[in-house]
């Protein structure tokens, strides 16, 4: 329905390998509050999609309900989007990607959407390992219903009205690792340098790739005493590493001559995630270490960001179900309806 | 009691594996060409509670529950007293010889003690298996008594154990043991006899859940999501086992169907709806409690106009109710499931052929109308075995509805609105994600939207879309299976029924005609929204009896609304059964005859008594 650029027309200046410019990855204008972290994430996502040469016609966007969930409308308007009901994003993404597992699925959810009403679906999409980039835009509150604490709000954090949160936080990254997720990252909406390569890597992961992005809500959770304000997050952000991502085709062309060589994780398509160590040692291929890291961070009140855990060899759900190369949605009628003879054989058995 | 016209009841304890034996007995009678109407009444429990398997034998082809028992196999000490008390005068009763002292005396019943325990011990050396194998002993005893063809019984045992050959010999031996004992110690029944007929030629025996599952597979279903719940679980099971042979590439092992056991019914509905959105033919199967959980997502699918098939195999009661008892209590819930302005298309099959054909049609209707389609079964239809004509291969090709391809979009110059009505039938066009055209995409939302699929709070733009949905519902009315109407000449009474009430109504009409000299026309409703024809039909009769298997007469209520403009609503009389047992012709005939000022036969003692037992258990 949109009149966006035709990807088949001659490449415009600044076009990527898909023949599209950065502007082709835009969506409808955002209606979120100016300064909302979610808008920064949308912006970084557009950059990542553009730089990864994604064809919007081969992608689909999924979300639940919340300020965060609205953002599927704010990027890549040449992609189909399914903005369903509160908390069910993982279920609808699973269903749509069962119908067509060749689509690049991008799911956007909030901390309320994922960690409260949708927690059941969240853990089950991880168990199934549906190939999906799963972005949690985590502001510690329910933005759209005006600032109630969410289940990811830290113990002791204060609301805008000054009430203290008396309940412990659910750590979506720890939950993800425990549920067998093979790509678990945490980032900050304000950290373009870290988030963009993480997003690009997530798109290449063969399974559910969770990125829990701390995304301050300027309207309801950006005050002193909140552990999700811009000031607090900037002060407590402890990036694990500098993240670099090199797509499959270009993988070994990167020259790296400054300092220690980074930890490299190769994905099945040949892409490489290069992690250049900062303060501490962390090998994201070590599941136990990843859980330990999160627990230590919790005890120390730190916000560790970066690639926390990765298992590049994970098996996506459509393979577990042994679906063929042709998406179910594209099967011709003769594959969908068994033959007359098949029915006759069954009737003979029931006679 | 005439030959080929009586009822058998096997009263056992569940968890003892009697179902296979009962099916052997059933199929042996059926294979002798005699019509059968089985009903399995079982508890919601894994083992140790009473279960009753009724086999109605009817040369006239009546298959509703009869409510009368002529031959009892009495193997459940818990219910012995009541089971015997409920027998018809002149009935026969087989019981375990060792329990002789516990058998109540009735002079008008012929008692046949059988040493089941000794007989099974003789033919089954492994004591732990005897509890199972003893069932085949009664098959032999009853088979001899009612004059079954011994070779047919053997063939049915072989068929039943085709997949478990190691158990075959043991079970065959048990049948032979029972048969031999009966032949030398018991008489053959003078009246409860099966004699060969030719009334089941080319017929099959199948349960409604299997027939529906087959319909879904032949309807091109490519995604099934489900969560176990009685009585729909066996639909998922049947689908899975038929899919295993129909939808797996023998060479590559690749499947053309995805089957997902979800984490709950919210996910089940969400996955199926989204799969429909993405172009699969998607479905889910559930029962009342699951349907309640799905309601928000169903409203989303309705408003976002997403094709999806929902099978509801109804069970009894509000809340958990009685999961293993039948009812038609979800009708009103389904027709407007979800909050706000919603209305749904509902198909109401009554036979195995309709379970199959309507399932196929449900997928075409879902795609054509771009909306959830509900297929309403109930436990009686879904889980009981039914005699049926063979299921017929669909005559029409698959209909995918109004889907724009990249070529179509190119011809339109990319100019289309997802929620517009260019054909004036209320049905918009859609595109499938992944369509290789830059104008293919649209944004699907459950929030207020305009024809262009953009968020809107504008009253007119909002209302335009919901008014079109009403138009679409009108279009649906004409596409649905019409009511099946059988007008009796000069009849002043009309009976309206649907779903599993059908066989009881068919029999009740015959009985009202022969015993009460009452002619009744019959209208069987097969879909909602209701057909336009009903108003004229009701106007042509003085009284309209509406048969519902729910407490509040839900179909009667829908008819009252539909008939209000014609002024005929005052002619409606509601007949309601809602105790969970399959409807009997007696119940319907007595209600109508009573209301019509005449009287009929006896009331339904067995059911009433067995219900008491159930409450105590
Ligand atoms: C079933 C249901 N319950 C409640 C709501 C109201 N509601 C809308 S958004 C929301 C919370 C959103 O919080 P979050 O997912 O964190 O998103 P944010 O707005 O913070 O980005 C709630 C409770 C709803 N839409 N649906
Ligand atoms: S309320 Fe908070 S989360 Fe919602 S748009 Fe405004 S700043 Fe963002
Ligand atoms: Mg939030």
Determine the residue of chain A that is closest to B258 in CA distance. A321
Mark whether B154 and B211 lie in a shared domain: no
Type and span of the H or E element at B562: helix B554-563
Note whether residue B228 is domain-resident: yes
Nearest to B20 by CA among B40, B48, B44, B45: B40
Task: Considering only the beta carbons, identify the residue of A82, A323, A333 that sits closest to B444.
Answer: A82
**What's the start-to-end Cα distance of chain A, in Å?**
53
Tell me the CA–centroid distance for residue A75 and ligand 3, in Å. 19
Mark whether B220 and B110 lie in a shared domain: no
Note whether residue B25 is domain-resident: yes
Where do the domains of chain A lie, and which CATH numbers do they carry?
A: 22-350 (3.40.50.970)
Mark whether B324 and B364 lie in a shared domain: yes
Nearest to A331 by CA among B215, B254, B402, B409: B254
Q: What is the pLDDT of residues B235-257, one digit of tens each?
A: 999 999 999 999 998 889 999 99
* Residues of A (264-323) whose Cβ lies below 8 Å from B: 318, 321-323
Which parts of chain A have pLDDT scores under 50? 2-4, 253, 255
CB pairs < 8 Å spanning A and B:
231
Note whether residue B87 is domain-resident: yes
B439 chain-A contacts, CB cut-off 8 A: 1-3
According to DSSP H, which parts of B57-205 are helical? 80-85, 116-123, 130-146, 150-160, 165-185
Interface contact flag, A1 B256, Cβ < 8 Å: no
Nearest to A114 by CA among A150, A149, A83: A150
Contact (CB, 8 A) for B577 and B508: no
For all residues of chain B together, what is the average pLDDT? 94
Query: Can you give the CATH number for the domain in which B287 is found?
Result: 3.40.50.970
Q: Is the pLDDT of residue B611 over 60?
A: no
Mark whether B160 and B235 lie in a shared domain: no
Mark whether B181 and B239 lie in a shared domain: no
Last residue of a domain, one of B362, B389, B416: B389
Contact (CB, 8 A) for B198 and B174: no
Contact (CB, 8 A) for B56 and B70: no
Split at pLDDT 50, 70, 90, the class of B613 is very low
Domain tally for chain B?
A: 3
Mark whether B221 and B154 lie in a shared domain: no
For a pocket test of ligand 2, which of A38, A66, A111, A215 has the largest count of ligand atoms closer than 8 A to its C-beta? A38
Interface contact flag, A3 B418, Cβ < 8 Å: no
Note whether residue B415 is domain-resident: no
Interface contact flag, B267 A100, Cβ < 8 Å: no
Task: Considering only the beta carbons, identify the residue of B204, B214, B270 that sits closest to A84.
Answer: B270
Mark whether B365 and B334 lie in a shared domain: yes
Split at pLDDT 50, 70, 90, the class of B46 is confident
Does A338 contact B at CB distance below 8 Å?
Answer: yes
Q: Cis peptide leading into B270, omega within 30 of 0? A: no
Note whether residue B303 is domain-resident: yes
For all residues of chain A together, what is the average pLDDT? 94
The proportion of chain B whose per-residue pLDDT surpasses 70, expressed as a percent, equals 96
Last residue of a domain, one of B335, B358, B389: B389
Tell me the CA–centroid distance for residue B28 and ligand 1, in Å. 60
Mark whether B574 and B534 lie in a shared domain: yes
Residue B498 has, within 13 A of its CA and on its CB side, a CA count of: 30
Does A6 contact B at CB distance below 8 Å?
Answer: yes
Interface contact flag, A92 B242, Cβ < 8 Å: no
Mark whether B159 and B129 lie in a shared domain: yes
Interface contact flag, B443 A335, Cβ < 8 Å: no
- What pLDDT score was predicted for residue B48? 86
Give nearest CA residue, ligand 1 atom 1.
A86
- What pLDDT score was predicted for residue A99? 98
**What's the start-to-end Cα distance of chain B, in Å?**
33
Note whether residue B476 is domain-resident: no
Q: Is the pLDDT of residue B607 over 70?
A: no
A5 chain-B contacts, CB cut-off 8 A: 438
Interface contact flag, B441 A333, Cβ < 8 Å: no
A4 chain-B contacts, CB cut-off 8 A: 438
Note whether residue B282 is domain-resident: yes
Mark whether B298 and B347 lie in a shared domain: yes
Does A142 contact B at CB distance below 8 Å?
Answer: no
- What pLDDT score was predicted for residue B15? 83
Q: What are phi and psi for residue A136, nearest 5 degrees?
A: -100, 120
Q: In a mutagenesis test of the B interface, which of A8, A325, A328, A344 is the best target, namely the one with the most B β-carbons within 10 Å?
A: A328
Q: What pTM did the predictor assign?
A: 0.96
Query: Can you give the CATH number for the domain in which B506 is found?
Result: 3.40.50.920
Q: What is the pLDDT of residues B257-287, one digit of tens each?
A: 999 999 999 999 999 999 999 999 999 999 9
CA B440 to chain A, closest CA, distance in angstroms equals 6
Mark whether B102 and B216 lie in a shared domain: no
Task: Considering only the beta carbons, identify the residue of B205, B260, B394 that sits closest to A350.
Answer: B205
Last residue of a domain, one of B332, B355, B389: B389
Q: Is the pLDDT of residue B609 over 50?
A: no
Please identify which residue in the block is written with the tokens 């993480």.
Answer: A198
Note whether residue B447 is domain-resident: no
Number of Cβ atoms within 10 Å of the Cβ of B356: 29
Does A254 contact B at CB distance below 8 Å?
Answer: no
- What pLDDT score was predicted for residue B601? 37
Task: Considering only the beta carbons, identify the residue of A4, A5, A328 that sits closest to B223.
Answer: A328
Q: What is the pLDDT of residues B149-194, one digit of tens each?
A: 999 999 999 999 999 999 999 999 999 999 999 999 999 998 999 9
Pocket of ligand 1 (CB under 6 A): A 65-68, 86, 110-113, 137, 139, 141-145, 150
Task: Considering only the beta carbons, identify the residue of A96, A325, A350 that sits closest to B278.
Answer: A96
Q: Is the pLDDT of residue B568 over 70?
A: yes
Q: What is the pLDDT of residues A257-268, one digit of tens each?
A: 556 789 999 999
Split at pLDDT 50, 70, 90, the class of B291 is very high
* Ligand 1 atom at shortest distance from the alpha carbon of A215: 21
Q: In a mutagenesis test of the A interface, which of B199, B261, B270 is the best target, namely the one with the most A β-carbons within 10 Å?
A: B270
Q: Could you tell me the residue range of the domain that residue B575 belongs to?
A: 484-616
Give nearest CA residue, ligand 1 atom 2.
A86
Query: Residue B448 has what DSSP assignment?
Result: -
Tokens of B382: 């879904």
Mark whether B181 and B213 lie in a shared domain: no
| Ligand nearest to C-alpha A113 | 1
- The angle subtended at Cα A217 by Cα A212 and Cα A223, nearest 5°, is 120
Interface contact flag, A56 B452, Cβ < 8 Å: no
Q: Which residues of B455-480 are buried (b: 16+ CB within 10 A; e: fewer)?
A: bbeeeebeebbeebbeebbebbeeeb
Q: What is the pLDDT of residues B66-91, one digit of tens each?
A: 989 999 999 999 999 999 999 999 99
A340 chain-B contacts, CB cut-off 8 A: 393
- What pLDDT score was predicted for residue B605? 28
One DSSP character per residue, A11-68 reads: PPTT--TTS--GGGGB-SPP-SPTT-HHHHHHHHHHHHHHHTT--GGGEEEEE-SSHH
Query: Can you give the CATH number for the domain in which B174 is found?
Result: 3.40.920.10
């Amino acid at each position: 329905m949109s009149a966006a650029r035709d990807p088949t027309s001659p490449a415009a200046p600044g076009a990527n390998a898909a023949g599209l410019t950065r502007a082709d990855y835009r969506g409808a204008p955002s209606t979120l509050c100016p300064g909302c972290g979610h808008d920064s994430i949308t912006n970084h996502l557009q950059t990542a999609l553009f730089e990864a040469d994604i064809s919007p016609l081969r992608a689909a966007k999924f979300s639940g309900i919340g300020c965060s969930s609205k953002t599927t409308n704010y990027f890549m308007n040449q992609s189909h989007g399914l903005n369903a009901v509160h908390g069910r994003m993982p279920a609808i993404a699973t269903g749509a990607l069962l119908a067509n597992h060749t689509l690049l699925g991008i799911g956007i959810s909030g901390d309320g959407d994922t960690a409260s009403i949708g927690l059941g679906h969240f853990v089950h999409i991880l168990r199934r390992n549906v190939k999906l980039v799963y972005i949690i835009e985590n502001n510690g509150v329910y933005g759209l219903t005006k600032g109630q604490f969410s289940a990811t709000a830290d113990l002791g954090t204060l609301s805008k009205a000054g009430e203290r949160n008396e309940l412990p936080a659910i750590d979506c990254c720890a939950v993800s690792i425990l549920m067998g997720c093979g790509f678990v990252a945490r980032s900050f909406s304000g950290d373009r340098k870290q988030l963009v390569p993480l997003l690009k890597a997530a798109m290449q992961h063969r399974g559910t790739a969770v990125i829990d992005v701390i995304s301050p809500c300027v309207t309801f959770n950006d005050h002193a005493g909140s552990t999700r304000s811009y000031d607090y997050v900037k002060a407590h952000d402890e990036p694990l590493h500098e993240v670099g991502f090199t797509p499959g085709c270009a993988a070994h062309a990167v020259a790296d001559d400054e300092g220690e060589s980074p930890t490299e994780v190769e994905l099945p398509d040949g892409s490489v995630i290069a992690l250049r160590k900062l303060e501490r040692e962390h090998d994201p291929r070590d599941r136990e270490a990843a859980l330990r890291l999160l627990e230590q961070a919790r005890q120390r009140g730190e916000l560790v960001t970066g690639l926390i855990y990765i298992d590049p060899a994970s098996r996506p759900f459509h393979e577990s179900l042994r679906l063929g190369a042709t998406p179910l949605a594209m099967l011709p009628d003769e594959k969908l309806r068994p033959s007359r003879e098949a029915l006759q054989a069954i009737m003979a058995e029931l006679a | 009691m005439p030959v080929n016209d009586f009822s058998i009841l096997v009263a056992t304890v569940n968890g003892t594996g009697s179902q296979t034996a009962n099916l052997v007995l059933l199929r042996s009678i059926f294979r002798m060409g005699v019509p059968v109407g089985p009903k399995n009444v079982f508890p919601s429990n894994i083992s140790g509670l009473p279960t009753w398997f009724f086999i109605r034998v009817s040369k006239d082809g009546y298959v509703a529950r009869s409510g009368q028992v002529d031959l009892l196999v009495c193997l459940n000490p818990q219910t012995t007293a009541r089971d015997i008390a409920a027998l018809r005068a002149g009935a026969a009763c087989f019981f375990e010889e060792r329990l002789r002292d516990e058998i109540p005396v009735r002079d008008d019943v012929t008692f046949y003690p059988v040493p089941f325990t000794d007989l099974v011990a003789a033919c089954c050396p492994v004591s732990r298996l005897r509890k199972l194998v003893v069932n085949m002993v009664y098959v032999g005893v009853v088979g001899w008594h009612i004059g079954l063809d011994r070779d047919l019984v053997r063939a049915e045992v072989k068929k039943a154990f085709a997949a478990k050959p190691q158990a075959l010999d043991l079970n065959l031996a048990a049948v032979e043991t029972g048969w031999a004992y009966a032949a030398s110690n018991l008489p053959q029944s003078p009246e409860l006899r099966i004699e060969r007929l030719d009334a089941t030629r080319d017929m099959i025996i199948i349960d409604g859940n299997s027939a529906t599952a087959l319909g879904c597979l032949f309807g091109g279903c490519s995604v099934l999501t489900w969560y176990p719940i009685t009585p729909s679980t066996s639909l998922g099971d049947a689908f899975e086992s038929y899919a295993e042979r129909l939808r797996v590439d023998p060479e590559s092992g690749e499947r053309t169907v995805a089957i997902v056991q979800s984490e709950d019914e919210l996910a089940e509905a969400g996955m199926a709806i989204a799969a429909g959105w993405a172009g699969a033919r998607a479905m889910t199967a559930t029962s009342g409690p699951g349907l309640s959980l799905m309601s928000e997502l169903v409203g989303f699918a309705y408003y976002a106009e997403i094709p999806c098939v929902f099978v509801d195999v109804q069970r009894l009661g509000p809340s958990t109710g009685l999961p293993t008892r039948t009812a038609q209590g979800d009708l009103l819930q389904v027709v407007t499931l979800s909050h706000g302005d919603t209305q749904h298309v509902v198909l109401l099959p009554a036979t195995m052929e309709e379970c199959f054909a309507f399932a196929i049609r449900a997928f075409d209707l879902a795609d054509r109308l771009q909306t959830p389609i509900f297929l309403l079964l109930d436990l009686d239809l879904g889980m009981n075995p039914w005699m049926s004509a063979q299921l017929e291969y669909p005559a029409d090709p698959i209909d995918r509805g109004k889907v724009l391809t990249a070529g179509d979009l190119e011809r339109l110059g990319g100019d289309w609105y997802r929620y517009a009505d260019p054909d004036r039938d209320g049905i918009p066009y859609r595109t499938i994600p992944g369509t290789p055209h830059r104008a293919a995409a649209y944004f699907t939302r459950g929030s207020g939207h305009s024809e262009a699929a953009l968020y809107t709070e504008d009253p007119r733009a909002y209302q335009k879309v919901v008014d079109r949905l009403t138009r679409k519902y009108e279009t649906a009315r004409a596409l649905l299976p019409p009511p099946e109407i059988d007008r009796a000449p000069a009849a002043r009474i009309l009976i309206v029924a649907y779903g599993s009430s059908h066989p009881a109504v068919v029999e009740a009409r015959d009985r009202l005609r022969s015993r009460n000299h009452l002619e009744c026309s019959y209208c069987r409703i097969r879909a909602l929204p209701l057909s336009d024809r009903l108003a004229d039909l009701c106007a042509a009769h003085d009284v309209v009896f509406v048969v519902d298997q729910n407490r509040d007469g839900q179909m009667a209520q829908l008819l009252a609304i539909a008939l209000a403009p014609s002024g005929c609503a005052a002619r409606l009389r509601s007949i309601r059964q809602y105790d969970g047992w399959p409807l009997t012709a007696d119940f319907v005939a007595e209600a109508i005859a009573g209301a019509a000022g005449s009287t009929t036969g006896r009331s339904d003692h067995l059911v009433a008594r067995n219900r008491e037992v159930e409450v105590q258990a």
